[in-house]
Amino acid sequence: MEFKVAVLKGDGIGPEIVGEAVKCLDAIGVRFGHAFTYDERLIGGAAIDAVGEPLPLETVDACLRVDAVLLGAVGGPKWDDPSAPMRPEDGLLGIRKALGVYANLRPAKLYAPLADACPLKPNRISDGLDLVVCRELTGDVYFGEKRRDANGAGHDDMTYTVGEIERIARRAFVLARGRRNHVTCVDKANVLETSRVWREVVERVAAEYPDVRTDYQYVDNTAMQLVINPSQFDVILTGNLFGDILSDEASCITGSIGMLPSASLGDGKLGLYEPIHGSAPDIAGKGVANPIATILSVAMMLRYSFDLHEEADTLEAAVERVLDAGYRTGDIAKPGEPHVGSAEMGDLIVKALGV
């Protein structure tokens, strides 16, 4: 089969990690007889530098014409001036909104060979970690009105509509049905009105999925539960801001933020696939970044946008085999242990695919 992929490398380590992910996707193509074609476009700081805006219209148009979008990362100190009229991050938020990808799935799994890289004591993680943060991605305080008032105070409006909550909640329950039938709804309903609406809507949707166990936690408690008893979680259903924070926390339990992929989905098949980490300007261009989060994002692309389940499983298994064989990038290596660079890790995964 033939599939078109828009490639948005972005800034910092973006080009390096996306390069390795494309290498793996091509290897899947060779092994299974698919043709993947790429349409590379600008986003983020690279786009600001080249054309003066973080999300050129051509990029949005190109993304709307393909089957899936692969994104690296955006941002960096060069564009951090708080008085600048635009930021690289505006490009990322803009493309999420433009594609209508409101459901952001961020699976956090502790691979057995990486148990040493997990910062928690072994007894806290003896039952493993295998959860998905189901983060609402196109609403919340991220997209509310932002302004400075006459007194110089800053305002960010936090809003959630019933419809926005309903559709992400359904996604979480369907996802849980394919896993361990458990949804934890995370909010701050003891303080926030948006969270009280969120909880009412989720309770209503939960009634349609009686086979799924639902519980409710306040986000501050979840932040604590993730480090004292992370195995209790299957699907964490939450809003944009809380999901951003909790997914970084969950990722470090897996050994490194360099391990976590994500899929951002809307109502159709078109999806946006990106690692959850940022552009890591401190290591950009050095060829040492961990490409696994981006490679696993490609596996999610195969599964969710292309319906190529065997191909997705095969790529994930190849990553696992390389980790099992003891290969590590610097972020997941034990201190003082030898490790491989980004390109070598990509090559090892391609080799494990038998290509």
**9 tagged catalytic:** no
**142 tagged catalytic:** yes
Please tell me the distance from the alpha carbon of residue 185 to that of residue 221, in angstroms, as a whole number.
12
**244 tagged catalytic:** yes
Per CB under 6 A, 276 contacts ligand IPM: yes
DSSP 258-290: GG---EEE-SSS-EEE--SS---GGGTTTT-S-
Q: Which of 39, 40, 49, 89 binds ligand IPM (CB under 6 A)?
A: 89
Q: Which of 39, 248, 324, 347 is catalytic?
A: 248
Binding at 92: pick from ligand IPM, Mg ion, none (beta carbon under 5-8 Å per type) = ligand IPM
Per CB under 5 A, 316 contacts Mg ion: no
CA distances from 109 to 101, 298, 326, 350 (A): 23, 16, 17, 21
State the nearest-atom distance from the C-beta of 91 to ligand IPM, in Å. 9
Q: What is the largest CA-CA distance in the chain?
A: 63
Range 215-234, binding ligand IPM (CB under 6 A): none
Question: Could you tell me whether strands 2-10 and 35-41 are parallel, antiparallel, or unpaired per DSSP bridges?
Answer: parallel
Per CB under 5 A, 244 contacts Mg ion: yes
Please tell me the distance from the alpha carbon of residue 92 to that of residue 331, in angstroms, as a whole number.
25
Task: Give the binding-site size for ligand IPM (rule: CB under 6 A).
Answer: 6
* Nearest C-alpha neighbor of 312 from the set 295, 329, 325, 334: 295
Residue nearer to ligand IPM on the CB measure, 246 or 350: 246
Provide the CB-side half-sphere exposure for 90 (13 A, CA).
16
Per CB under 6 A, 244 contacts ligand IPM: yes
State the nearest-atom distance from the C-beta of 171 to ligand IPM, in Å. 17
Question: φ, ψ for residue 321 (rounded to 5)?
Answer: -65, -40
Binding at 49: pick from ligand IPM, Mg ion, none (beta carbon under 5-8 Å per type) = none
**Residue linked to tokens 């196109």:** 138
Per CB under 5 A, 140 contacts Mg ion: no
Per CB under 6 A, 130 contacts ligand IPM: no
State the nearest-atom distance from the C-beta of 244 to Mg ion, in Å. 4
Q: Which residue type, as a one-letter code, is found at position 310?
A: E
CA distances from 120 to 26, 61, 255, 323, 347 (A): 36, 44, 9, 20, 31
**188 tagged catalytic:** yes
Task: Give the binding-site size for Mg ion (rule: CB under 5 A).
Answer: 1
Per CB under 6 A, 249 contacts ligand IPM: no
Q: Which of 111, 142, 209, 216 is catalytic?
A: 142
Q: Which of 18, 92, 176, 332 binds ligand IPM (CB under 6 A)?
A: 92
Beta bridge partners of 8: 41, 71
State the nearest-atom distance from the C-beta of 11 to ligand IPM, in Å. 10
Provide the CB-side half-sphere exposure for 6 (13 A, CA).
24
**78 tagged catalytic:** no
Do residues 206 and 176 lie in contact, with contact meaning Cβ atoms separated by under 8 Å? no
Q: Which of 188, 209, 304, 331 is catalytic?
A: 188
Query: Which residue ranges make up the site for Mg ion (CB under 5 A)?
Result: 244
Query: Which residue ranges make up the site for ligand IPM (CB under 6 A)?
Result: 75, 89, 92, 244, 276, 278
Q: Which residues are catalytic?
A: 142, 188, 220, 244, 248
